[in-house]
Structure 1
Amino acid sequence: MGKVKGPGLAIVKKKIRDNERLLKKEHLPANVRVEHERALAALQDQLQVIQLEHKKLKYYERYKKIRFFERKKAERHIKQLEKRLGDSSVNVSEKDKVKEKLHKYRVDLKYIKEYPPLVKYVSLYAEGNVEATEETRKKIWREMEERLLSGKKHNLGPSGANNIPVKKKQTSEEELNDEFFEK
């Protein structure tokens, strides 16, 4: 992932402020007012898209290293288990255990690669986690297991968000408002 394409956040916010200032004028012709209201709505949509892209980029950069290490660990385990499965000296009961472990690590790999980009990454192999974190990890892991078993290729929505039920952090209205839009 590289830089977010298109106009920057500051440019879009400036255009929004300019349109809002223009719309505050009382003696504005109706056709100009309608045109600027439509432009303002489009700019606000564009602002939301840019903010989502920035959030995705921020999470990608923050968790890139831990995801890399976890991916390598899962790939290494998969390779070892496949090699062990192909070994003829392994008995039937041990092969079943190896197949279960292989399935677990394949789901882990899918979890690492297809984790929702708009959600803070929850490490698979970290120890000593809180119950809420553990619950989130299990929900996402189960979703990835269903995807692996169904064999469907997952497509991200237009915002890049997965449809995985994740407990959202509750925020107040004051936190959601930006200082630029205070009135």
Structure 2
Amino acid sequence: MPAPRRIKTAYNARTKSGHTLKKKIRDAERLLSRPSLPADKKVETERALAAWKLELQDATKSRIEHKMDQKYRMVKFFERKKIQRELSRVRKKAAACEGKVPKDLKDSIHTQEVLLNYTLHYPKGEVYISVLKDLGENVEGAKRREEIKKDISRRMKKGTLGAPTEDDDEEMEEAEQPAPTTKAKGDKPRAPGKKNRWGEKPGKSEAETIENDDFFEF
């Protein structure tokens, strides 16, 4: 049987690009180390080397951003869902007001909008700092979180937020749904909590575990 073909992804492409650029840089540096290299060839190689180094920086940055996105996407997804529910609640409360909406309610709506945009426009490539979790004694984390929130609020007022860095909610919602299972012939339904034929108890899905974790308590 032939070996399975590797599926080319954007991440694989970035990794391959990084390896290719590193090889080009090494080859160029070896070439430049030759004393007999003609002047015109030296200038040409130096220019190419500078360009490849810049490309490598971009490729490295892209790889780090992709890694961070994959690592924290589930956390941001569930935080965003909780914030959206709270935002919907306060907006309904404001809509039910007769006459002028109280200032504290307007402030509450703005706060939730900032929190929502925090999850949508979090700086790429940075370790994600939860916008809902109590950071305790993590002074640096709390400071950085406030900086990002203030920046988000400022950009909201100016209308310069731009495109969100998170746009995969539909994909995440599909992943949250349990995968369909096929029932073998002769299998009987088990009582809740009962072990299966391999002695395993049914467990919660990753999505259920994460959403019910205290980490996400609002």
Q: Which TM-score band applies after superposition, normalised by the shorter structure? A: 0.7 to 0.9
Alignment of 1:17-166 (within 5 A): 17-88=26-97, 95-129=102-136, 130-154=138-162
Alpha-carbon distance in structure 1 between the residues aligned to 2:49 and 2:150:
42
Alpha-carbon distance in structure 1 between the residues aligned to 2:161 and 2:149:
16
Superposed displacement of residue 128, structure 1: 3.5
Superposed displacement of residue 151, structure 1: 2.5
Superposed displacement of residue 154, structure 1: 3.6
How much is the aligned-residue C-alpha RMSD, in angstroms? 2.3
Alpha-carbon distance in structure 2 between the residues aligned to 1:152 and 1:35:
41
Superposed displacement of residue 91, structure 1: 9.0
Number of residue pairs aligned between Structure 1 and Structure 2: 153
Q: Secondary structure at the match of 2:10?
A: coil
Q: Which runs of 5+ in 2 are unaligned?
A: 1-8, 165-218
| Aligned residue number for residue 172 of structure 1 | none
Superposed displacement of residue 26, structure 1: 1.3
The C-alpha deviation readout for 1:67-121, integer Å capped at 9, x for no partner, is 1111111111111111111124x7978x433222111000111111111103221
| Aligned residue number for residue 4 of structure 2 | none
**When you count helix as a share of all residues, which structure comes out higher?**
1
Question: Is the 8 Å Cα contact of residues 86 and 112 (structure 2) preserved in structure 1?
Answer: yes
| Aligned residue number for residue 214 of structure 2 | none
Runs of 4+ residues deviating >6 angstroms = 90-93
